[in-house]
Structure 1
């Protein structure tokens, strides 16, 4: 089964660390990263989709994707 997550956060080192941690847990980048500017906060936010193939599991909407 393939699972999907979309990681988001401010454009800073913490976001890069979250993506790096996911990659080191077996997740793979899916598509290009995205950027969005929040005018009211004057901040840039990033997003990156990641996928992972998980063997021997059935999809359950209650599953914690970050724990896969």
Structure 2
């Protein structure tokens, strides 16, 4: 089973730590990172897709992807 997540957060060290934590749990980067500007807050928002192949499980829409 292949899982997909799209991580988002402010473009700062906390976002980098979020992506690093996912990589250390076996997730892999998928595609290029993205940046967008939130004009209401004046903040840059970063995004990165990650994927992970999990063997021996079936997909369930109720599963918490961050715990896989």
Please tell me the TM-score bracket, short chain as reference.
over 0.9
Say what the alpha-carbon RMSD is for the aligned residues.
0.3
Alignment gaps of 5+ in structure 1: none
Shift in Å at residue 36 of structure 1?
A: 0.4
> Which residue of 1 is the match for residue 44 of structure 2?
44
> Which residue of 1 is the match for residue 21 of structure 2?
21
Segments of 4+ moved more than 2 angstroms? none
Question: Counterparts of 1:60 and 1:49 in 2: how far apart (Å)?
Answer: 20
Question: Counterparts of 1:67 and 1:22 in 2: how far apart (Å)?
Answer: 10
| 1:1-68 map, 5 Å | 1-68=1-68
TM-score under structure 1 length normalisation = 0.99
Aligned length: 68
TM-score under structure 2 length normalisation = 0.99
Alignment gaps of 5+ in structure 2: none
